């Protein structure tokens, strides 16, 4: 399944962390709680977008 929003406006209001967290939650397979945030932080660090974003 894919997600294709009709309007991109809400996405322009999200920070990098919020974008990645939304995609992690949509994809599923990650237990809730702190595990989602750890996955998000790791993904952001891997691509070099860390640094308080």
pLDDT tens for the chain, 53 residues: list them: 777 767 666 677 888 889 888 888 888 878 876 888 888 899 899 999 877 54
Tokens representing 39 are 């996955």
Place of tokens 């932080």: 41
Range of the domain at 41: 16-23+30-53
Q: Is residue 41 part of a domain?
A: yes
Work out how many domains the chain is built from and give that number.
1
- The overall pTM is greater than 0.85: no
Q: Is residue 11 part of a domain?
A: no
Which pLDDT value is given to residue 45?
92
Which pLDDT value is given to residue 8?
62
Which pLDDT value is given to residue 46?
92
Tell me how many degrees the CA angle 25-17-39 measures, rounded to the nearest 5.
55
């Amino acid at each position: 399944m894919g997600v294709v929003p009709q309007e991109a406006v809400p996405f322009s209001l999200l920070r990098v962390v919020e974008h990645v967290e939304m995609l992690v939650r949509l994809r599923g397979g990650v237990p809730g709680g702190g595990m989602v945030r750890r996955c998000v932080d790791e993904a952001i660090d891997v691509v070099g977008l860390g640094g308080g974003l």
